Amino acid sequence: MTFGQFLLVAVLALPALGAVAVAATPADRAARLVGTVTAALTLLAALPLAAGDRGWFAWSANGPAVRPWHQLDLPWVPGLELRFHLGVDGISYPLVVLTALLTLLCCAYSLYRVPVGGSGRALVALLLVIEVGILGTFLALDLVLFFLFFEVVLLPMYAVIAGWGGEDRRRAARKFVLYTLLGSVLLLVGVYVVVAAAGTADIVTLTGGGGLSRNTQLFAFTLLALAFAVKSPLWPLHSWLPDAHTQAPTVGSVVLAGVLLKMGTYGLIRVAVGVAPEGARWAAPVLGALAVAAILVGALVCLAQTELKRLIAYSSVGHMGFVLLGIATLTSTGLQAALIGNVAHGVITGLLFFLAGAVKDRTHTGALAELSGLRETAPRLAGLLGFAAIASLGLPGLAGFWGEAFAVIAAIEVGGPLWTTLGVLAAVGGALTAAYFLRLLRRVTHGRPSPAVDRLAPTLAGGELTAWTPLVLLALAVGLAPALVLGVAEAPVNALVEVLR
């Protein structure tokens, strides 16, 4: 086993074993500490995956052959010709690191604050199980394995929302499960269609169409795109998201927004577009129109929102719209926009939900009308909230700018009346994004302190700063040096675009 293969196994085995160790540790705080150490080791195992050969595609007489940086390909179910095939490249690597980082920050945050209503030990164990499912989804190079990891996340996330959420948590958790099960059924049927037609579940072999007929690709892409649209979620299949975010505990919202939504957009790029490129070209105009609708509808709904976490949740619908718009262009610029938009959204929205949780924990309310004057009583918290908000609205120099700008540019570069119109409307949606975040800051940080805010202590806890600081630094780093993401993704994105032509 090579060092890269060892790391691939370690990235999945560490959180899985850690979840068992946390569940077996009787003392609650000691169990949370074990989970935090395990999450840190997982991040340390994920970071070196970028070392070694950066080649992704090698051209052969039969066309492009996918070659990840590192891969592990072992027999799994020989009778069904299924393999335990893992791999990492420049498309998946940033999301693997982001998942490991946010899980570590959530586990570390649990040392400082555990939501009321349940055991901290159980919460951390569930976070590690969720990490296994998300990391496995990003690393899987077998469609059946991809589907299984994709589904691992469902029940633990339901338990996090239902066990540690707000007053209406059970209804929100049920809604999350029902929508996700719908997507799961569509994904299962889509995977079956592809595997039955191609005779293989290997994503490497299937990239570029894998010999599938045009009609099969159109049908498979429709099923897969709908399945991933539910998970992302993309408008109009998004209605479970605001309820889940509003009721979820802080760490649940961070994981949900930061990385769980990325499973859908990643699957759209890696599986739907990669396996059924003809279907992607056929559906691109519809996807582009839906993306712009998500941007505009999400922004308009945010302008009318009166609850802090719900507003941030609806902002995710708009941000995922920019990601989808980039994917729909099927260009190198657009796919790069989608990838950096995914990372930026995970970093910035993760920070926003940490801060929103801190505000609600202190004031016991999320109503914007009851949160005025935050900068007068808690200026550091208000300053961090302001930083996260302007990063999310796409201020140049911060991480949120690149995904939105590149998505608009990619749409205009495609040309034609339709794509030019979509690019212009998306730019208008970006302006509306600035409007609702500035409205949020005016309502929450400015004015005279409301009774709920007036009693706040001005200090921030060490556990909070430990969880928030890496996200602040990453928002700055990716904003100032987008090559941190775009550099590693350039080769595989260009190769995928070649397949799409």
Q: What is the pLDDT of residues 284-325, one digit of tens each?
A: 999 999 999 999 998 999 998 888 888 998 888 889 999 999
Task: Judge whether residue 56 has pLDDT over 50.
Answer: no
Closest CA to 68 of 235, 280, 270: 270
Q: How far is CA 3 from CA 6, 11, 17, 94, 404, in A?
A: 5, 12, 20, 19, 37
DSSP letter string, 13-33? HHHHHHHHHHHH--SHHHHHH
* Per-residue pLDDT, 470: 94
Residue 394 vs residues 91, 148, 314, 361, 499: alpha-carbon distances, Å: 22, 35, 16, 27, 31
Q: Are 93 and 50 in contact (CB under 8 A)?
A: yes
Number of folded domains that form the chain: 1
pLDDT at 58 over 50: no
Residue of 327, 205, 192 whose CA lies nearest to 267: 327
Domain of residue 215, residue span: 3-500
Confidence of residue 248 (pLDDT cuts 50, 70, 90): confident
- Give the pLDDT band (50/70/90) at residue 16: very high
Beta bridge partners of 355: none
Q: What percent of the chain stands above pLDDT 90? A: 39
pLDDT band at 387 (very low <50, low <70, confident <90, very high): very high
Q: Is pLDDT of 358 > 90?
A: no
Classify residue 449 by its DSSP letter: P
pLDDT exceeds 70 at position 65: no
Mean pLDDT, residues 67-78 taken together? 81
Does the global pTM surpass 0.85? yes
The mean pLDDT value for 150-165 works out to: 87
Burial (CB < 10 A; 0-12, 13-18, 19+), residue 87, is buried
| Gyration radius of the chain over CA positions | 22
Q: Give the model's confidence band at 149: pLDDT under 50 very low, under 70 low, under 90 confident, else very high.
A: very high
Q: What is the pLDDT of residue 168?
A: 77
> Helix 379-392 crosses helix 332-363 at what angle (to 10 degrees)?
160
DSSP tag of 78: G
Over residues 243-255, mean pLDDT: 85
Average pLDDT over residues 437-441: 90
- Determine the average pLDDT of the residues in 197-210: 83
Q: For residue 35, which of 258, 346, 251 has the smallest C-alpha distance?
A: 251
Rounded distance between C-alpha atoms, residue 377 and residue 373, angstroms: 7
Residue 35 to residue 250: CA distance in whole angstroms: 17
- CA dihedral over 353, 358, 362, 368, signed as positive or negative: negative
Average pLDDT, the chain: 86
Please tell me the predicted confidence (pLDDT) of residue 385. 92
Q: What is the pLDDT of residue 118?
A: 64
Write out the two tokens for 256.
Answer: 């949900």
pLDDT for position 27: 86
Q: Residue 54 pLDDT > 60, yes or no? A: no
